[in-house]
Each structure stands twice: as structure tokens, then as C-alpha cells.
């Protein structure tokens, strides 16, 4: 799929990706004042689209931004954009910016919100090799955004610290970065949630994170299959001392870690709980359940 054939939905129109442009004075750009959500399609079905739309709606409400389209019409645009891109396995991003206020006006309620949807080929945070052997993570010094500054539950475009964390990890040879909060509690990484396995049970931080849909799916699968899972505050120690650590994301599903900060996790191999959850997740993705079809049957 060449980049040229991809289209972007931009404020009511489908435009070739290379022609999509936005004003530099849109506050979505100037201040990262926009919210988004990311869904993915696998085998031509978009996973848990209603759950993603609901989370987007909550981000919008928290940010006091109005979506230009009602939920049903937005769902149609997401499906249509993916269809026009011809992608069966896709990573689909929906962005609502606050827009641009009239010149000289400080009142942000006078902004006209903008809507953009684009689809690109599905991508994994960990590459194929790391999916087999387990990835290497670094707990970086860049801290998660404190909830009192900008709550990470709002999926906003103000996330330069995520790129800085990733670059910090990469420059030290790690595949991914994990961030602590100001009190040293484990939060999440750029675009993924974290699970620790200890004594057969799974644990995931409860607060100061994006409430990941894949994370939620792990909780649901665990309940269905009798796997113990809990929300728990975790420190770096808990990661180092874990039997297994895995990551969850719309960009890659369930992904194993083998090493954190130079310490092997468990026996340094992706573990049995990871494998179980991974297989359950992908069985779900391959099934008809929770999937919105992109292409007509």
C-alpha cells in the first residue's frame, strides 16, 4: 500500500494523504489542544469500535471540545476511511481538534472544532523478533504527566513527553520506555499499558494512565477464563521482581518484555501467562466478536 493511495478524512472531505494540511494557528497544533482515539482493524474488522468511540466521547467531554459529528456518523467515517484506504489490517486514528479562534479573540469557545480520520497499515510497538524473544524496556527519568497538570486519561495531542521518553529509551538501547509518576509508581509507556505477573496473577496500575481498551480486554478475557487479575500500585521493584511483564496496546495487542533496566524478567523469556493472554487476545481478534466489518460481505 503506497502512501499516495491513502486518504485522510479532513473536515467533511476525503483527501489524498499527501494533500491533507492544517492551519498552523489551529490550537490542535499550537497547543496540542486536541483529543484522539486509535482503533485497529484486523482481517477487515475494526476491534471494539463502540468502546473506542465512548472513550473519545469522554476525552472530548473532559476537554470541553465538541465533536463535529454525532457518534453514529463518526463511526461511519472511521469505517469508510479504512475502506477507502483498502486496509484489512490497519491502525486508525480519529482526531478532534478544538480548532482556530477568530483572529484577536481569546475566547476558546468560539473555536470551530476540526475532525480528522486516517488509516495506516497496522504496526506493532515491538518488532517480530522482539515478539518472540521479548522486548527490552527502560524505566526512563521522564515522568508521566501528573493528573493535576493534564490527566493522562484524556487522550490528548499534548504528548511530547512521550516522544522524549521513547528517545531516551532508544538512545540507551531499549525498545520501549516505561514511565513512573512523581511518587515513583509505575504508570505506562508511550502508547501502551503495563502488566506484571507474579505468582500466577496479573497486576496493572490503576491510576495516572490512559484507560487502555486492550488493557480492558485483558481484564475481560481474564474474567472469562478464570485468570486472576488485579489493579495494583506498582514500583520499579515490582517490575524487576516480576515473573513476567507484558505490555498492552492497540498497536500490537499483547507484547512480552524480557528485560527491564538490564535485569532479566523471570527466566528472560516470554512466559506462560503472556502466551495465554496473547493467544486469547488474537483468537478474539480473529473471531467475529467485537468486530465492525470494514468491507461489505
Partner 1 sequence: MPDYTAYFCGQWVPFSQVRIDPLDRGFLVGDCVFDVARTFHGKSFRMREHVDRLYRSLRYVRIDPGLSPDELERISEEVITRNEVLREEVGDYQIWQFVTRGRGRWAHKAGPPAVGVCVRQIGFSRFADLYATGAHGVIVRTRSFSPDALDPKVKNFSRMNFNMAELEASDVDPEGWPILTDSRGNLTEGVGYNLFLVTRGTIRTPGDRGVLQGVSRAMIFDLGRELGIPVVEEDLQPYDLYTADEAFFTSTSPCVLPVTRVDRRPVGAGTPGPIVARLLGAWSEIVGVDIVAQARHYAPLEQLESPRGS
Using CB under 8 A as the criterion, which residues of the chain lie in contact with partner 1 when the complex forms?
Answer: 8, 10, 17, 20-25, 27-34, 63-64, 93, 95, 98, 100, 103-109, 116, 118, 120, 123, 141-146, 148-150, 154, 156-164, 166-167, 170, 182, 190
- Least distance in angstroms from the C-beta of 181 to partner 1: 9
Q: State which residue, 108 or 211, has the beta carbon closest to partner 1.
A: 108
Shortest distance (Å) from residue 155 CB to partner 1: 11
Nearest CB to partner 1, comparing residues 216 and 235:
235
Q: How far is the CB of 183 from partner 1 (least distance, A)?
A: 11
35 vs 284 by CB, closer to partner 1:
35
Number of neighbours of residue 19 by Cβ within 10 angstroms: 9
Strand partners, 196: 203, 245
Q: How far apart are CA 234 and CA 203, in angstroms?
A: 8
- Angle of helix 213-225 relative to helix 272-286, nearest 10 degrees? 100
Instruction: Rank residues 166 and 204 by Cβ distance to partner 1 and give the closer one.
Output: 166
Q: How near is the Cβ of 151 to partner 1 at its closest, in Å?
A: 9
| Closest separation in Å from C-beta 74 to partner 1 | 17
- CB closer to partner 1 out of 184 and 206: 184
The least distance separating partner 1 from the CB of residue 139, rounded to whole angstroms, comes to 13
Backbone angles phi, psi at 25, to 5 degrees: -100, 10
DSSP 8-state assignment for residue 125: S
Please list the residues that pair with 135 across neighbouring strands: 257
Given the complex with partner 1, which of 34 and 242 has the nearer CB atom? 34
Note the Cα 102 to chain centre separation in Å.
Answer: 33
Sign of CA dihedral 186, 189, 193, 196: negative
Chain centre to alpha carbon of residue 15: 25
Q: Which residue has the cell 504496526?
A: 123
Minimum distance from residue 102 beta carbon to partner 1 (Å)? 9
Q: Which is nearer to partner 1, 43 or 141 (CB)?
A: 141
The DSSP code sequence of 75-112 is HHHHHHHHHHHT-SSEEEEEEEE---PPTT---GGGPP
Amino acid at each position: 500500500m503506497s502512501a499516495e493511495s491513502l486518504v485522510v478524512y479532513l473536515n467533511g472531505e476525503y483527501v489524498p494523504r499527501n494533500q491533507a494540511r492544517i492551519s498552523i494557528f489551529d490550537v490542535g497544533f499550537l497547543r496540542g489542544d486536541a483529543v484522539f482515539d486509535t482503533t485497529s482493524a484486523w482481517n477487515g474488522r475494526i476491534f471494539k469500535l463502540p468502546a473506542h468511540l465512548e472513550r473519545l466521547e469522554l476525552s472530548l467531554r473532559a476537554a470541553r471540545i465538541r465533536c463535529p459529528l454525532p457518534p453514529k456518523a463518526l463511526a461511519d467515517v472511521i469505517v469508510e476511511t479504512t475502506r477507502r484506504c483498502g486496509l484489512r489490517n490497519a491502525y486508525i486514528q480519529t482526531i478532534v481538534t478544538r480548532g482556530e479562534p477568530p483572529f484577536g479573540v481569546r475566547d476558546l469557545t468560539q473555536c470551530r472544532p476540526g475532525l480528522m480520520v486516517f488509516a495506516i497499515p497496522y504496526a506493532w510497538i515491538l518488532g517480530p523478533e522482539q515478539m518472540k524473544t521479548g522486548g527490552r524496556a527502560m524505566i526512563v527519568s521522564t515522568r508521566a504527566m501528573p493528573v493535576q497538570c493534564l490527566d493522562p486519561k484524556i487522550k490528548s495531542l499534548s504528548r511530547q513527553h512521550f516522544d522524549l521518553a521513547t528517545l531516551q529509551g532508544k538512545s540507551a538501547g531499549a525498545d520501549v520506555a516505561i514511565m513512573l509518576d512523581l511518587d515513583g509508581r509505575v504508570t505506562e509507556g508511550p502508547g501502551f499499558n503495563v502488566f506484571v505477573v507474579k505468582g500466577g496473577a496479573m497486576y496493572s496500575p490503576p491510576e495516572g494512565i490512559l484507560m487502555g481498551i486492550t488493557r480492558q480486554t485483558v481484564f475481560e478475557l481474564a474474567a472469562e477464563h478464570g485468570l486472576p487479575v488485579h489493579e495494583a500500585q506498582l514500583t520499579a521493584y515490582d517490575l524487576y521482581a516480576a515473573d513476567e511483564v507484558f505490555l498492552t496496546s492497540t498497536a500490537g495487542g499483547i507484547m512480552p518484555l524480557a528485560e527491564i533496566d538490564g535485569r532479566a524478567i523471570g527466566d528472560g523469556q516470554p512466559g506462560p501467562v503472556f502466551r495465554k493472554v496473547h493467544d486469547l487476545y488474537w483468537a478474539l481478534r480473529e473471531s467475529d466478536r467485537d468486530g465492525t466489518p470494514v468491507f461489505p460481505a
